[in-house]
A and B are shown apart, each in its own frame.
Chain A
Amino acid sequence: MKRLIISNILLAMLILVTRSDAQQIHSINQQIKLAENGSADVHLIVSFSGNDSLGSFQVPFGFNEVTGLEAYLDHPGQAVDVQLVMDRTSPVLKFHLNPGSEPHKLYVNSKVEHFLDWEAAGPEEFKTYSWKVEYTNTLPTRIDSCSLNVLLPSGWNYHRILSSEPEFKRKDPEPPFTLFLVNGRANVSISRKSMEYLDRITLEFAFKNEQKPTILITVGVLLIALYLYYFRNLILKKAKVETIISNNNNKENN
């Protein structure tokens, strides 16, 4: 029995080593474009190199159900056969290709119909919504670098990044995430180097509609007008006093 367990472990290790040797993922860049209806376009750019005998290639994927799944090798004209399969309990993208040992790029497009559950996300105080996005390396293959981009629907913006992995510690010179606009839409990008088996990249964020109450302008103008009227003595009083002094001086001079 003991020998059987040991031989099983060795076999499992051999499989893991063989699989991780067969493919090498240099980088994965995942972009999630959120739509107002809660769906999201998920795009992946995978930079990898395999070997001549590689018949299929797997990439960890974060979603169980997608529509419109399509993939290209290096450029849009070169379509690749891709399937969403379950590796144990985790979804992975399985590409059928034989690219040789040269480095290549895979472009994957898909759509997740129920990405964001608006009801579960909020609204919380001040009409903010919060959501968490994560990507886990569920395969033994090491990913040299990985980035995750989340693009909000037009008219929405990030209120705050609540948490992230890699974590942003208070004394870090820079956060692991950056915020920037992509065609006028709010985007957050997080990246990490060297993702081993079960390493994660996560972003938990609060977001809200960018529209701000324009009534503030009316309130502001009203406040300013009231202040300027009721506190006009601040500029008038002293002037009067100075006039009186000046008049007195004039009288003395006369």
Chain B
Amino acid sequence: MNAQEINFDTNLNVLPIRKATRGEDRMRYIGFPLGIVFFLILYLMPTPNGLTLEAQAAIASFALALTWWVTEPLPTYATSLFLMGLLTFFNGWPEHKVLGVFGLEVIWLNIMAFILSSTLVKSQLAKRFALWIGIRFGHSSLTILGAFIVLQLFLAPFIPATTARTVMVLPVMLVIGSIYGSTSGKGNNFGVNLFMQNLQGISIFSSGFLTGSTCNIVAAAFIFEMGNQKIYYSDWMIGMLPITLIVMSISWWLGPKYLFPIKQEDQQPKVKGGFKVMQKMLDDMGGFKLAEAKSASIFIFVLFLWATDRFHMGWFGFEISAVMAALIGVVIVFLPKIGFMKWNDADIPWHVMIFSAGAYSGGLALFDSGAARWLVGSVFDMVGLDSNLNFWLVYIIIISFAMYAHLFFTSKTMRSIVMIPIIIAVAQQFGFDPVSLALPAAFTLTWVITLPTNAKPNLILYSAGQFSISDNLKYGLTVSTIGVVVMIIAGFTWFRFLGITP
């Protein structure tokens, strides 16, 4: 690849054309009928005890969509639209609510974040940073992958908004991927590892800090209110941060070595002339340009607002939400003379927005109809949690459930609201300390790493077209399972040492 062929443009609004593998084609062929069969069984079966008809329709519709998202007989955005139709026509959620999802904060935040991300590309700041990081750490694929993991670790405590972290790093990742020969629709295993490890880093490192995500704070609040025990920032960090480091280290090693082995030729930058050319490109860029300075200033300003959200009330008398902070940045970007972008420069993947809207309408329908609460309760009933069970068996069941629950419930905060009180109640019923079960379960809430629909960052990264849903499923399930094993070992050792488990 010549230096000129490196893709410094994100082009996220254009859907990449990927050639499916034989396995993917088979999945597609089976997936369509499977989704319909799931829907028919779940929708037509007698309404189970404790469930409303609306909740039953929501579960059936979501099961079909989940099957189709994973197997992709239809493009993911088409499945999302289909799901929105199913929810409406089968009365799983009212039409105005289904359509209203597109006006939710999450969609707006995505749109604003993509525009902000485009400023980094348009100003060429992303190119400069990518070239620098490539030259500094790019001598082997493993070191550059490691550099991104360290970057995510340092960003996590400062920027709680996972979308913000994603948007900051995405343009750099795209350029680095391109340098290593992995582009949208023509990806290689370096690209898969790069994107998947960042996806995991963003979510998993959020669990290392109490303020890493709203769901952590909600969980700590429930433990305090229902379990009467206060969880401090340091309790959370000392408990969970070492676990995140262990799991991310395993993932960093496992991915490129075994799950998605990087070919020898893909382990070095594919630019003809190697690092010298990259250095020359960096030199050719010259000094810091005005557009780069503007882009950096706006981005730092928005990051500042994101990072200081807890102080806004004291400073301004009101809180500037994440989406409004991004909106302020976007307005500045488009201002004549002050800004430096026009609408055509904004790279917004609308197909991902549609995909997100469908995924969120499905998830919200499950929550709003009471289906999510019913599913959680039913699973606990099904596995036969009763007071005769040994603590460690209950611990293993709860950790496993909490870890894999993200496959079905799209919102972390909702999962926190639904699951943590039930777990505290289970602990109290069996005479266990609520913290011993609820806190380890809360540690897993942000591990939303298995499907693009699990979280906003996943959707954003998926939009780059560098990995497929089955890649995500394979890597995500593996790391989630490793997470369960590490959490179980920690329960016997580290958590016990800290006094979390008995």
The answer to whether B50 and A231 have CB atoms under 8 Å apart is: no
> When the two chains form their complex, are residues A181 and B49 in contact, meaning their CB atoms are under 8 A apart?
yes
Within 8 Å CB of B422, what residues of A? 173
B44 within 8 A of A: yes
Number of A-B residue pairs at CB separation under 8 A? 83
B33 touches A238 (CB 8 A): no
A223-B46 Cα distance, complex, nearest whole Å:
23
Q: Is A235 an interface residue (CB 8 A)?
A: yes
CB pair B52 A228 closer than 8 Å: no
- Cα(A125)–Cα(B89), bound, Å: 10
Q: Mark A175-215, 1 if CB is under 8 A from B, else 0.
A: 10011110000100000000000000000000010101010
User: Does B51 sit within 8 A of A, measured CB to CB?
Assistant: yes
- Chain B residues with Cβ below 8 Å from A157 are 47, 52-53
A175 to B43, CA, bound (A): 24
**A212–B29 CB distance below 8 A:** no
Q: Is B39 an interface residue (CB 8 A)?
A: yes
**0/1 per residue, B47-81, Cβ < 8 Å to A?**
10111111000000000000000000100000000
Segment from B20-28, B118-126, B455-463, B492-500 that makes contact with A: B20-28
Interface centre among A178, A227, A237 (most CB of B within 10 A): A227
In the complex, A125 Cα to B53 Cα: how many Å?
A: 14
- Tell me if A238 and B25 are in contact (CB < 8 A): yes
Beta-carbon contact of B36 and A179 below 8 Å: no
Pair A220/B52 contact, Cβ less than 8 Å: no
B53/A159 in contact, CB under 8 A: yes
A224 within 8 A of B: yes
| Nearest residue, chain B, Cβ from A231 | B29
* Interface contact B36-A234, CB-CB below 8 Å: no
B370 touches A175 (CB 8 A): yes
- Is B10 an interface residue, CB under 8 A from the partner? no
State whether B50 touches A208 (Cβ < 8 A).
Answer: no
A234 to B72, CA, bound (A): 12
Is the pair A228, B222 in contact by a Cβ cutoff of 8 Å?
no
Q: A174-B421, A217-B44, A235-B26 are contacts. A208–B53 as well, Cβ < 8 Å?
A: yes
A235 CB contacts on chain B under 8 angstroms: 25-26, 29
B91 within 8 A of A: yes
Interface pair A159/B417, CB less than 8 Å apart: no
A216 interface hit (Cβ, 8 Å) = yes
Shortest B52–chain A CB gap in Å is 5
Return the chain B residue nearest A232 by Cβ.
B29
Query: What's the least CB distance linking B338 to chain A, in Å?
Result: 40
Taking the closest CB of chain B, its distance from the CB of A12, in whole angstroms, is 41
The closest CB in chain A to the CB of B29 belongs to A234
Which residues of A sit under 8 angstroms from B53, Cβ to Cβ? 157-160, 208, 210
A210 with B52: in contact, given A171-B417, A173-B421, A224-B36 (CB under 8 Å)?
Answer: no
Does B32 count as interface, using CB distance less than 8 angstroms? Answer: yes
A156 vs chain B, min Cβ distance (A): 10
Report A-chain residues with C-beta under 8 Å of the C-beta of B54: 159-160
A175–B53 alpha-carbon span in the complex (Å)? 17
Check B28 against A234 for contact (C-beta < 8 Å): yes
Q: Which chain B positions have C-beta within 8 A of A136?
A: none
Residues of A within 8 A of B36 (CB): 220, 223-224
For the complex, is B379 an interface residue (Cβ under 8 Å from A)?
Answer: no
Task: Name the residue on B nearest A242 (C-beta).
Answer: B22
B369 touches A216 (CB 8 A): no
Task: Confirm or deny: B40 has a beta carbon within 8 angstroms of a beta carbon on chain A.
Answer: yes
Q: With an 8 A cutoff between CB atoms, is B226 at the interface?
A: yes
Q: Are B44 and A216 touching (Cβ within 8 A)?
A: yes
Shortest CB distance B363–A (Å): 14
Q: Are A180 and B50 in contact (CB under 8 A)?
A: yes
Select one of A174, A175, A220, A234 contacting B40, CB under 8 A. A220
Contact: A159 with B33, CB < 8 Å?
Answer: no
Residues of B within 8 A of A90 (CB): none
Give Cα distance in the complex from A220 to B42, angstroms: 13
Chain A residue nearest to B418 in the complex (CB): A173
B52 CB contact (under 8 Å) in A179, A217, A237: A179
In B342-388, the 8 Å CB interface with A consists of: 369-370, 373
Report yes or no: A227 in contact with B421, Cβ–Cβ below 8 A: no
Q: Is the pair B91, A126 in contact by a Cβ cutoff of 8 Å?
A: yes
Contact B33 A228 (CB under 8 A): yes
Question: Which A residue's beta carbon lies closest to that of B369?
Answer: A160
Is A56 part of the binding interface, using a Cβ–Cβ cutoff of 8 Å?
no
| B contact residues around A220 at 8 Å (CB) | 36-37, 39-40
Question: Which of A128, A214, A232, A238 has a CB less than 8 Å from the CB of B91?
Answer: A128
Residues of B with C-beta under 8 A to A238: 22, 25
Is B44 in contact with A212, judged by CB distance below 8 angstroms? yes
Q: Do A227 and B91 have beta carbons less than 8 Å apart?
A: no
* Interface: A161 (CB within 8 A): yes
Question: Chain A residue with minimal CB distance to B26?
Answer: A235
Contacts of A237 in B (CB 8 A): 25
**Contacts A158-B52, A220-B39; is A210 near B47 (CB within 8 Å)?**
yes
Among A160, A161, A223, A242, the most chain B Cβ lie within 10 Å of the Cβ of A160
A210 to B53, CA, bound (A): 8
Residue of A161, A173, A227 near B226 (CB, 8 A) is A173
Given contacts A214-B44, A217-B44, A234-B25, contact A159 B52 (CB under 8 A): yes
Give A223 to B73 CA distance when docked, in angstroms. Answer: 13
Q: How far is the CA of A178 from the CA of B417 in the complex (A)?
A: 17
Return the 3 tightest CB-CB contacts between A and B, nearest first. Answer: A173-B421, A224-B33, A234-B29
Some 26 contacts from A to B, beta carbons below 8 A apart, are: A157-B53, A158-B53, A171-B417, A174-B421, A179-B50, A179-B51, A179-B52, A179-B370, A180-B50, A210-B46, A210-B53, A212-B44, A216-B43, A220-B40, A223-B36, A224-B33, A224-B36, A224-B37, A228-B32, A231-B28, A231-B29, A232-B29, A234-B26, A234-B29, A235-B26, A238-B25
Q: B residues engaging A (CB < 8 A)?
A: 22, 25-26, 28-29, 32-33, 36-37, 39-40, 43-44, 46-47, 49-54, 73, 91, 222, 226, 369-370, 373, 417-418, 420-422
Give me the interface of A with B, judged by CB distance under 8 Å: 125-126, 128, 157-161, 171, 173-175, 178-181, 186, 208, 210, 212, 214, 216-217, 220, 223-224, 227-228, 231-232, 234-235, 237-238, 242
